[in-house]
Structure 1
């Protein structure tokens, strides 16, 4: 809203109003305001929650083997994150921008879905929360809406990158003059090539473009659902998910900025996406909200984000990557979320497989994988066998596990950015 006000004032040469045309200026303002809101509102929210004793009564008191009491800590802290994102974005963003609208809808949609889950756990005293099938329906629905909008909206266009060989044999990357609907996406590590979903569906003949868009919608649904669930599983230690997500947000912000700048897009040999600079504003609000939330969520946590926060965080990351055509980078960038999900799948499927043979065998001490590093031998199920019972040799403190996961996220984020230079 303030963007449109100051752009109007710029017509009358009001000093300083021209600054609002710069994406860097608005992005930094957004990040600062998001930090301030999360710090100020977070304190008020935590006090309010404590006065009303709003916390998960079913939380496992033995979750921390080092003696820190987890029971009684307020949850639903994801509300702090959502408020800290939406207010700066609505103030400093171009709210008529299609990409920004999609990000706001994703935030509200998945925030509400997570809120329902937390509400059932806290107020209905049902530790299982919202049934899994309803969560999946909600995640699939927003993925479908995003994918369909990117398919049908005339405002969603790109200028594809092409290579022009000059006389000195140097290859200069240029972009087509016309902006078009495109099914191309960036392939990591591979130079001078993008993946075109319509080419994948070339066996459909004259319907290959339509088939390519259908595949794109399905990939959008999968990306949003997978990353959202991965973030949800990663939210198991104080500061874990918020820290990892802030790092991922920085990487996505860089990718969004270079994709929205034709000079940088040419340098990195990626598609130029007009108007995607508003994603930078949103992602700066996202980063500020994550860092501000860490003020209260770092070990020992004063508040938990709950599904209200974790489902929203994953959805934001997935949709942002889809918009800038970098969804194939998600397995690298969100490697922590991927491994967390994979550990749960391996654990449950192997246990079911061995149970059919009359044996109770698990692979890890506990899943998601971060729990494997803090589980004491005395906390293991005596009736089960563990393939990796001796790994690790001893449990680690929660804060050490969290920081090591953050370091891993930094490495993965750096590797994601490096893949562009490798191209």
Structure 2
């Protein structure tokens, strides 16, 4: 028993000597790059008059934001990529997959933002074009994973408040459908939520911290056994990406908090939504991840309800969708809505860890 404990301490100590420094440094690097580059980015975009395009049928209070620079997601992604390249093990296949797919998503988001700025409207790419481009990237990514690792064909569900996990083996078609929709739904839900100052970035930070813990539990032989998770070798390296998101996100929030001096744009929201989705898929914690993303999913559901209600009755269920606009039109102050959504997001993260 003593020998087992002694070996365990050696393993833990080695992990933290090697990994703790890199984890801290990736956080510091991503935070520093974003914090110091965003002001330069803001000034440059002010001079070039590249600013947020406001919905004509949106809340009246939003027209005061029409000169606010957008596409700050470029700096967020730049800092994440630099810090991950500097401090992660680039021989790890998970790191390379995530960086590559996120880059493709950032191109879609950039095109969407670019169209909005050039065409001077709030639509950018139409929903069909955006989904089409995302679908190509998602299916390419999932098929590539399948070709390289056919052992991934399963999904697991945690029975709340127990250590029991139900594991389902999937056929290829079902696997593609499930993971296709996870990435599509979450990336676009983050995009829909990013409508108020700091509303989307803080839940992303919370979720990234949650994924940091889950990545460690999944990639550690002892903790994965304790929590009854499937052990996934080398998945602890995903902590580097999670902490780079946290660092960059906190620095961005410094400037994106109400009243925002910059917005992340679709280039940021779509890419970050894609990135956290892929992390959850790699560590096989999709069920817990969807609980964490509850605030994003609620926002998407509010839009779906609104569209269905209006299509069949020509009446609106909400004053405006997504849901945060409904509360705005009810007269609730923007900072109040933002903080309450943050609180709900934090509660969902805590609830996720309570049930395991």
TM-score (norm 1): 0.77
Confirm whether residue 373 of structure 1 aligns to residue 345 of structure 2. no
Coordinate RMSD, CA, aligned: 2.1
CA distance in structure 2 between the aligned counterparts of 1:215 and 1:22, rounded to whole angstroms: 39
State which of 79, 99, 104 in structure 1 corresponds to 2:99.
104
State which of 36, 44, 47 in structure 1 corresponds to 2:43.
47
CA distance in structure 1 between the aligned counterparts of 2:163 and 2:16, rounded to whole angstroms: 36
| Preserved CA contact (<8 Å) 1:142 1:221 | no
State which of 355, 362, 372 in structure 1 corresponds to 2:316.
362
Task: State how many pairs are aligned.
Answer: 342
Per the TM alignment, residue 59 of structure 1 is displaced from its structure 2 partner at its CA by 4.8
CA distance in structure 2 between the aligned counterparts of 1:32 and 1:122, rounded to whole angstroms: 32
Alignment of 1:154-193 (within 5 A): 154=149, 183-189=154-160, 191-193=163-165
Alignment of 1:58-207 (within 5 A): 58-60=54-56, 63=59, 65=61, 69-154=64-149, 183-189=154-160, 191-198=163-170
Alignment of 1:346-357 (within 5 A): 346-355=305-314
| Preserved CA contact (<8 Å) 2:54 2:63 | no
Aligned to 2:6: none
Q: Name which one, 1 or 2, has greater alpha-carbon Rg.
A: 1
CA distance in structure 2 between the aligned counterparts of 1:252 and 1:57, rounded to whole angstroms: 33
Alignment of 1:280-299 (within 5 A): 280-299=239-258
CA distance in structure 2 between the aligned counterparts of 1:300 and 1:343, rounded to whole angstroms: 25
Give SS of 1:196's match: strand
Per the TM alignment, residue 145 of structure 1 is displaced from its structure 2 partner at its CA by 2.8
Q: 1:338 to 1:281 in 2, by over 3 A?
A: same
Q: 1:52 to 1:24 in 2, by over 3 A?
A: same
CA distance in structure 2 between the aligned counterparts of 1:138 and 1:237, rounded to whole angstroms: 26
| Preserved CA contact (<8 Å) 2:31 2:247 | yes
The structure carrying a bigger helix percent of its residues is 2
Aligned to 1:338: 297
Q: 1:144 to 1:282 in 2, by over 3 A?
A: same
Aligned to 1:167: none
CA distance in structure 1 between the aligned counterparts of 2:334 and 2:146, rounded to whole angstroms: 44
Confirm whether residue 404 of structure 1 aligns to residue 329 of structure 2. no
| Preserved CA contact (<8 Å) 1:146 1:220 | no
Aligned to 1:272: 231
Confirm whether residue 29 of structure 1 aligns to residue 18 of structure 2. no
Q: Deviations over 1:392-411 (max 9, x none)?
A: xxx21111110110010000
Aligned to 1:241: 200
TM-score (norm 2): 0.91
Per the TM alignment, residue 348 of structure 1 is displaced from its structure 2 partner at its CA by 0.9
The unaligned stretches of length 5 or more in structure 1 are: 1-17, 157-179, 199-211, 356-360, 377-394
Give SS of 1:362's match: coil
CA distance in structure 2 between the aligned counterparts of 1:103 and 1:22, rounded to whole angstroms: 22
Range 188-197 or range 23-32, more displaced: 188-197
CA distance in structure 1 between the aligned counterparts of 2:15 and 2:219, rounded to whole angstroms: 18
Q: 1:80 to 1:372 in 2, by over 3 A?
A: same
The unaligned stretches of length 5 or more in structure 2 are: 1-13
Per the TM alignment, residue 191 of structure 1 is displaced from its structure 2 partner at its CA by 3.7
Give SS of 2:167's match: strand
Per the TM alignment, residue 20 of structure 1 is displaced from its structure 2 partner at its CA by 9.3
CA distance in structure 2 between the aligned counterparts of 1:44 and 1:342, rounded to whole angstroms: 37
Give SS of 1:194's match: strand
